[in-house]
Every structure is written in C-alpha cells, then in structure tokens.
Structure 1
Amino acid sequence: MAKILKIENLNKSYKSGSKNIKVLENINFEVEKGETFAIVGPSGSGKTTLLGLCAGLDNPDSGMVEIAGTDLRLLNEDEKAALRNEKIGFVFQNFQLIPTLTAIENVAVPLELRGDKKAVEKSRKLLEKVGLGDRLDHYPSQLSGGEQQRVAVARAFSNSPEILFADEPTGNLDAETGGNVIQLLLELNQLSNTTLVIVTHDMELAQKTENILHIKGGKTSGVSKNLRP
C-alpha cells in the first residue's frame, strides 16, 4: 500500500538556558494510506512535539518528514501552510473553536477560506453527521465539552483531508464522552477513507487503532500491530 506519512531519522532538541535538551532522537516509522495509527507515551515523552513535526507545524533539527509523497524539507512556510490546508486535518485537546462564531460558522471557516461556495451546506451536513443538527447556531460557550469536540471533529473533516492528526482528543473529556468522540472519529475516518494519527497516553484508546508507535524519553521502541477482532 501507498505510504501517506514517512518519517526518517528525525531529531529535535530545544535550548534551555545554556543546555541543549534532546526531545526526539532518531525517530523512524511509516503510516499507510487509510490506516489508523496511535502514538503512545507518558507525559513529556515527545508525543506532541513529534505530531507537530509530522504535520509541518515545526521543523526538525535533522531527518525527513514526507506527507503524501512531498518532502517537507523542500517547502517554504507558505507552501507548508498550503499543503496543510489541502491535505491535513487537526483535532486538538482544547477544541480550538473560535468563540465568536457559531458551530456551523466554525466548521465553514476552512471551506470558505478555500473559496468553497457550498461551505454552509457542507458544514450543516457534517454537523448532522456528528449529531449536532439541532445545535448549528449555538456558540462554543453554549455547548458542552463533548459537543465542542464534535464541532472540532466536523471541522477537521470539512476539507476532506488525506491525513488527520488528533492530539489527545479526549484529554479534556470524561471517559464516556471521550469514548463517544473517539467512536465518532473512527467512524467518520472510515467513511472518508482518511488516515488517522492519534497522539494519546490512553492505551485503551490506542488499542482501537491498527498500529501503535510507542515513545518514551524521546525514543521509540518500534510499532506494534493491534490484533483487533
């Protein structure tokens, strides 16, 4: 199968005063198109830093990130932004909705930025898919945490991304609500034939994906396959 994400010899460090702190060391893995993939590790293990590098939100010290056949080293920041807009979706732990926009407006924004004349119609359908057809005109402050994350999931799928990155998508939700959001994410992912990469410290959530990359102290111990029924 085709590889949608390819990571080779990735290294990243940060300066803290006079010290150089290594966050990621010699990371290698591949994700196939259409698969579900979890990056798992304890707090401070480098998971979120790795996700940012995979999505081109930050640059590594060395190594290669390739998305959909494009080597990010060959792109400038504007070209990376265009790639993200065209091929990548995001779901974050803290929802990142625009507080002054309604649910339907939050979902429509990425589509409108692309000049899609059917932005509102598509956004309505997506919100109906995530069970929020009756909450279209509600502002984030009028929605529960679970409902806000559903809006965020709908927005993430609005540009039909080839790959979707989810950073601790259930981190701010209780167990039951989080479980429902993950189920929704996996169902929409299957319907859209998107590749889903989830960063989490929750092994129960990770086990719902096809493959798991284990990371600890900035190093990986390889990818394990999930033997799901």
Structure 2
Amino acid sequence: MTKILNVSHLRKSYTSGNKELVVLDDISFGIDEGATFSIVGPSGSGKTTLLGLCAGLDKADSGEVLLCGVALSNLNEDERAQLRNREIGFIFQDFQLIPTLTALENVSVPLELQGEKGASATAMELLKKVGLADRSHHYPSQLSGGEQQRVALARAFCNRPRILFADEPTGNLDEETGNKVVQLLFDLNKEAGTTLVIVTHDLELARKTQHILRLKGGKMLSNESLPST
C-alpha cells in the first residue's frame, strides 16, 4: 500500500522569553493512501501543531514530512501552497467560510482559482450531496452552524483532494448536528476515496477511523490500528 503521508522524527518548539517550549518531540508515523486516521489527545498535546506540519502550513525544527511523495522541507512557501491547492482539502472547527460569498460561491471558489470550467455546476452537485441545494444562494450569516460546516465539507471535496485534514470538525456543533456532519464526512470520503486525517479530542469520533495516534505532552503515546467494523 502506498504511503500518502510519511512523518519521520518530527520536532517543533517555540521560544517564550528565554525558555524553549517543545510542542512536538520525535513524532514518526505513516498513513496509507485511502486510509482514515485520527490524532487524539488532551488540549495542549500538540494535535493541531502536528496537523499544520503535515499539511505544510508550518515548518518543523527537525525531521521530515513526505506528503504525496514530496519532501516538504525542500519546498518554499509558494511551492507548499501550490501542493496544498492541488492535493489537500481542509475542514476547520470554525468553518472559515468567506462571509461576503454565498454558499455556492464559497464552494466553487477553489475550482475557479484553478481555472476549471463548470465550477458552479460541480459546486451545486456537492451542495446537493450535503443537502443544501435549496440554501445555495444564502450567505454564511444566514446559515446555522451545522449548515455552514456542511458548506465547508462540500468546499473541501470540490477539488477532489488526495488527502483531507479535518481539525476538530464537530468542535462548534451540538451532538446531534455533529453526528450528521460526521456521517456526511465519512460518506463523501468513502465515495471519493480520499485519505482522511482527523484531529479530535472526541474518542467516539476517533474510533470511526481505521487508525488512532495518541499524543500527550508533545510525545506519541501510541499508534494503533482498529479492527474493521
């Protein structure tokens, strides 16, 4: 099985005053193409920092990230951005929709930036899949939190990413709405064959994935494969 993500001896620290704060210390793991994978741990364990390093949003102090066969340390900021636009989808806890654009426009923007024809038609098809075709011309402020996250889901899949990073995707949602969003996320992911990496403190959500990596205090406690259900 081809590894879409390989992380080797990753270390990340920040300087606070004259002290060094180690956020991640010697993290190594790999993720197979098409797998579902979760990163769990308490607040401050380094989960979001690790996701940012894996996605090329930040650079490690040492170690290496191979993403889609490319060593991120060899890329400059523009090249990392190009790789993200081409290969990666993102879902964030706070939705990150553009407030001045409609749901349809929010979903179609990534395709339009890549110069794809039929961006609106593709975006509308994805909005149908997440049950929001009738809300396509509403602005984010006119949508509930659950509806905004469904728009974000549609946007994340619109450019057919090879790997999707979801950072606490249900963190701002009530339990019932969060469960619906999670079901949509896994359904869309299965249909697209995308690799899914979820950062979460929710163990119930993590157990829906095939692998769980546990962090505590910036160190990796375990990396376990779960039995197929």
TM-score bucket (shorter structure): over 0.9
Deviation at 1:159, TM superposition (A): 0.6
Percent of aligned pairs sharing the same letter: 65
Deviation at 1:227, TM superposition (A): 2.0
> What is aligned with 1:212?
212
Deviation at 1:228, TM superposition (A): 3.8
> Structure 1 segments of 4 or more deviating over 3 A?
none
> What is aligned with 1:189?
189
Deviation at 1:119, TM superposition (A): 0.5
2:87 equivalent to 1:56? no
- 1:1-229 map, 5 Å: 1-229=1-229
- Unpaired stretches in structure 1, ≥5 consecutive residues: none
Q: Deviations over 1:106-155 (max 9, x none)?
A: 00110000001111000000000011010000000100000000000000
Three-state SS of the structure 2 residue aligned to 1:171 is coil
Q: Deviations over 1:4-25 (max 9, x none)?
A: 0000000000011111100000
Distance 1:3 1:211 in 2: 14
Distance 1:169 1:92 in 2: 6
Deviation at 1:71, TM superposition (A): 0.6
Aligned length: 229
Distance 1:176 1:154 in 2: 19
Deviation at 1:225, TM superposition (A): 1.4
Three-state SS of the structure 1 residue aligned to 2:171 is coil
Report the TM-score, using the length of structure 2 for normalisation: 0.99
Deviation at 1:222, TM superposition (A): 2.4
Distance 1:15 1:152 in 2: 34
Three-state SS of the structure 2 residue aligned to 1:209 is coil
Report the TM-score, using the length of structure 1 for normalisation: 0.99
Amino acid at match of 1:224: E
Distance 2:93 2:37 in 1: 17
Three-state SS of the structure 1 residue aligned to 2:222 is strand
Distance 1:49 1:74 in 2: 20
Distance 1:174 1:226 in 2: 26
